[in-house]
């Protein structure tokens, strides 16, 4: 290993390794001291690879043998035991509203920004999560446990494959280092990848302290690097708010259409790029319950499935409030937030029309869609399975559609709805086989259900990472039939209902 000779990189991160032909740019690190603290990751003992994402590695332009090159350098780097030349590790400071209450200063308490790579698809930042104490760790230990790191890794890659804007995940590494939660667990690190990790909370931080120059700096940075089209507008900061509003509305529509619950939609967990970020106690719906709360710590159900759109808008208001010193007129900020409802409802109608296999998106279809969702909610029909089965709907008069019908308890209500649906499809001359192909490209067969993650985590705790890797393979092709893997598309087992996922990660 080409590390400096003073100590083993296994024990300390005081080292820089020759970077394997990677070009780092690190624009965020040019922002200045108010925005971050530069520091190194804290090393862990005996790191090992849990899983890596070949898709994410390809995105970064890493060579196929990247995990093994130069005597396993990458393992040391992505467990926080070494750095590649050109990396500029730092923890950024932000604030935020947690569960609707102003929480003051937060920041990267266990994450470390490593640097920014120039890739064929544009610059991408890399970030370690679980890399030890930072000035923003507050009461925490700066670590992440194996369980939550596996969940974040798998869901990041799964969401990307589902077509949802998200931060990506390159790898998970594990260490036997003990980490205390409700019980003693072990440490792991996940390496996240995104064009930027800037959150709403970054803006709230400087606004709350009346640091308007710094606020302007990060807003300008965001405009110049990620929203250059807003620069041309008469009011660039209002245009930025509107662009974030539109992206966020569209992202939440993606979540709703997949039955995804984020679980902790605090403003510090909202990406300025409209990416899904900070996977914690997330969950995909099994039986459809609009009031489903996936986060065991969310007593009030603030982040219940059906509330996600309105919480997103609430969070955008917090961002608007933070940007107000730059925008000037409250009316301009409100006007920038205004498109949320129409963008969200149009996106929902488009997603759900596609899920029903309708060629056209028409306002009157809202009734047909709503009635279907109401039926699903009444019968707690499995969200993913029902939509997937809908693809095999037969529009012939008198067809029985038993496979789908079986997913409902109120059969007469289903039959009545099915007649309307068949009628609507016939109206637009829908061809069953063609429509099925289209529907199978938007209604996934595989999502990261909690019980699947739990089973992979249980094995991983015994040192067997094969199920994590297998799940990744399945979830990177969620729309494929994958006939060899029927159990991963099946109804959840009874014990899945008892799984509790909380913020403690
Ligand atoms: P989260 O709810 O996971 O988004 O975390 C909220 C804040 O707490 C963020 O600033 C995190 O960096 C911080 N945090 C969460 N867990 C830990 C931990 N184990 N050690 C240090 N900081 C943490
Ligand atoms: Mg967070």
Expressed in angstroms and rounded, the spacing between residue 96 Cα and the centre of ligand 2 is 10
DSSP H/E element including 437: helix 432-439
Whether the per-residue pLDDT at 13 is higher than 90: the answer is no
Whether the per-residue pLDDT at 5 is higher than 60: the answer is no
Expressed in angstroms and rounded, the spacing between residue 105 Cα and the centre of ligand 1 is 11
Residue among 430, 445, 464, 217 nearest 326 (CA): 217
pLDDT digits (tens, 9 = 90+) for 385-438: 999 999 999 999 989 899 999 999 999 999 999 999 999 999 999 999 999 999
Q: Provide the phi-psi class of 470: left if phi over 0, else alpha when psi is between -120 and 50, else beta.
A: alpha
Q: Whose atoms come closest to the Cα of 297: which ligand?
A: 1
Determine whether the shortest distance from the Cβ of 480 to ligand 1 is under 6 A.
Answer: no
Name the residues annotated as catalytic.
Answer: 268
Percent of the chain with pLDDT over 70: 97
Burial class (CB in 10 A: 0-12, 13-18, 19+), 493: exposed
Determine whether the shortest distance from the Cβ of 247 to ligand 1 is under 6 A.
Answer: no
Buried b (16+ CB within 10 A) or exposed e, 451-481: bbbbbbbeebeeeebebbbbbbebbbebbee
Determine whether the shortest distance from the Cβ of 180 to ligand 1 is under 6 A.
Answer: no
Counting from 1 in the atom list of ligand 1, the atom nearest the Cα of 144 is 19
* Interatomic CA distance for residues 340 and 297, integer angstroms: 28
**Residue 447 has what DSSP assignment?**
-
Give one DSSP letter per residue of 72-100, joined into a string: HHHHHHTTTS-EETT---EEE--EEEETT
Residue among 119, 157, 169, 237 nearest 478 (CA): 157
Expressed in angstroms and rounded, the spacing between residue 426 Cα and the centre of ligand 1 is 52
Counting from 1 in the atom list of ligand 1, the atom nearest the Cα of 268 is 4
Q: What pLDDT sits at residue 14? A: 52
In the chain, DSSP finds a helix count (H) and a strand count (E) of 17, 14
The two beta strands, 122-129 and 111-119, are antiparallel
The two beta strands, 90-92 and 36-38, are antiparallel
3-class SS shares of the chain: helix, strand, coil, % to 5: 45, 15, 40
Confidence of residue 2 (pLDDT cuts 50, 70, 90): very low
Determine whether the shortest distance from the Cβ of 107 to ligand 1 is under 6 A.
Answer: yes
Arithmetic mean of pLDDT over the chain:
95
What number of other Cβ atoms are within 10 A of residue 93's Cβ? Answer: 21
pLDDT digits (tens, 9 = 90+) for 71-87: 789 999 999 999 999 99
Question: Ligand 1, atom 17: nearest CA belongs to which residue?
Answer: 140
Whether the per-residue pLDDT at 219 is higher than 90: the answer is yes
Counting from 1 in the atom list of ligand 1, the atom nearest the Cα of 143 is 19
Q: What pLDDT sits at residue 50? A: 98
CA 59 to each of CA 54, 62, 64: distance values in angstroms, whole numbers, following the listed order? 9, 8, 11
Determine whether the shortest distance from the Cβ of 168 to ligand 1 is under 6 A.
Answer: no
What number of other Cβ atoms are within 10 A of residue 312's Cβ? Answer: 23
Confidence of residue 232 (pLDDT cuts 50, 70, 90): very high
When pLDDT is averaged across residues 25-39 and rounded to a whole number, the result is 97
Q: What pLDDT sits at residue 371? A: 97
Confidence of residue 360 (pLDDT cuts 50, 70, 90): confident
Residue among 428, 359, 360, 426 nearest 394 (CA): 426
Expressed in angstroms and rounded, the spacing between residue 177 Cα and the centre of ligand 2 is 22
- Three state DSSP letters for 449-498: CHHHHHHHHHHHHCCCCHHHHHHHHHHCCCCCCCCCCHHHHCCCCHHHHH
Q: Which residues contact 380 (CB under 8 A, 6 or more apart)?
A: 287, 288, 289
Expressed in angstroms and rounded, the spacing between residue 221 Cα and the centre of ligand 1 is 25
Counting from 1 in the atom list of ligand 1, the atom nearest the Cα of 141 is 20
- Three state DSSP letters for 251-303: HHHHHHHHCEECCCCCHHHCECCCCECCCCCCEECCECCCCCCCCCCCCCCCC
Determine whether the shortest distance from the Cβ of 59 to ligand 1 is under 6 A.
Answer: no
Under 8 Å between Cβ of 386 and 374: no
Whether the per-residue pLDDT at 1 is higher than 70: the answer is no
Structure tokens at 251: 């992202």
What number of other Cβ atoms are within 10 A of residue 345's Cβ? Answer: 15
pLDDT digits (tens, 9 = 90+) for 128-145: 999 999 999 999 999 999
Angle, CA 497 vertex, CA 496 and CA 501 arms, to 5°: 80
pLDDT digits (tens, 9 = 90+) for 84-108: 999 999 999 999 999 999 999 999 9
Phi, psi for 122 (deg, rounded to 5): 110, 170
Residue among 348, 353, 347 nearest 421 (CA): 353
Determine whether the shortest distance from the Cβ of 436 to ligand 1 is under 6 A.
Answer: no
Whether the per-residue pLDDT at 445 is higher than 50: the answer is yes
Q: What pLDDT sits at residue 438? A: 98
**Residue 65 has what DSSP assignment?**
T
């Amino acid at each position: 290993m080409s590390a400096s000779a003073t100590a083993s990189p296994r024990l300390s991160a005081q080292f820089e390794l020759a970077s394997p032909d990677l070009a780092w740019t690190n624009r965020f690190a040019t922002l200045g001291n108010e925005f971050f603290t530069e520091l190194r990751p804290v090393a862990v003992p005996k790191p090992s690879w849990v899983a890596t994402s070949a898709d994410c590695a390809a995105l970064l332009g890493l060579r196929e043998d990247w995990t093994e090159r130069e005597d396993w350098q990458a393992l040391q780097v992505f467990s926080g035991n070494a750095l590649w030349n050109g990396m500029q590790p730092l923890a950024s400071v932000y604030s935020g509203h947690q569960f609707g209450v102003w929480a003051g200063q937060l920041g990267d308490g266990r994450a470390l920004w490593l640097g920014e790579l120039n890739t064929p698809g544009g610059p991408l930042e890399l970030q370690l999560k679980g890399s030890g104490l930072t000035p923003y760790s507050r009461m925490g230990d700066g670590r992440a446990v194996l369980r939550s790191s596996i969940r974040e890794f798998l869901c990041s890659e799964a969401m990307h494959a589902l077509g949802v804007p998200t931060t990506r995940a390159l790898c998970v590494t594990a260490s036997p280092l003990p980490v205390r939660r409700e019980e003693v667990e072990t440490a792991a690190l996940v390496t996240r990848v995104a064009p930027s990790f800037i959150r709403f909370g970054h803006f709230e931080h400087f606004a709350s302290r009346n640091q308007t120059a710094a606020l302007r700096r990060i807003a300008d940075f965001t405009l110049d690097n990620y929203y250059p089209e807003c620069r041309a507008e008469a009011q660039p900061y209002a245009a930025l708010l509107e662009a974030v509003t539109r992206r966020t509305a569209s992202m939440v529509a993606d979540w709703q259409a997949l039955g995804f619950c984020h679980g902790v939609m605090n403003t510090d967990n909202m990406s300025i790029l409209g990416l899904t970020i900070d996977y914690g106690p997330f969950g995909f719906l099994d039986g459809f319950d609009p009031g489903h709360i996936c986060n065991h710590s969310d007593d009030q159900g603030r982040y219940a499935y059906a509330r996600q759109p309105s919480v997103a808008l609430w969070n955008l208001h917090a961002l608007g409030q933070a940007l107000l010193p730059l925008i000037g007129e409250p009316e301009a900020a409100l006007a920038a937030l205004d498109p949320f409802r129409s963008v969200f409802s149009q996106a929902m109608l488009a997603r759900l029309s596609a899920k029903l296999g309708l060629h056209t998106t028409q306002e009157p279809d809202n009734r047909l869609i709503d009635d279907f969702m109401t039926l699903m909610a009444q019968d707690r029909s499995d969200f993913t399975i029902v939509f997937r089965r809908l693809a095999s709907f037969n529009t012939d008069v008198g067809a029985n559609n038993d496979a789908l019908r079986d997913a409902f308890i109120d059969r007469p209500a289903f039959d009545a709805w099915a007649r309307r649906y068949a009628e609507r499809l016939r109206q637009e001359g829908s061809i069953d086989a063609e429509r099925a192909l289209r529907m199978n490209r938007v209604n996934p067969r595989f999502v990261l259900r909690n019980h699947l993650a739990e089973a992979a985590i249980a094995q991983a705790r015994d040192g067997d990472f094969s199920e994590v890797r297998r799940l990744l393979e399945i979830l990177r092709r969620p729309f494929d039939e994958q006939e060899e893997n029927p159990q991963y598309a099946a109804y959840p087992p009874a014990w899945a209902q008892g799984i509790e996922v909380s913020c403690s990660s």
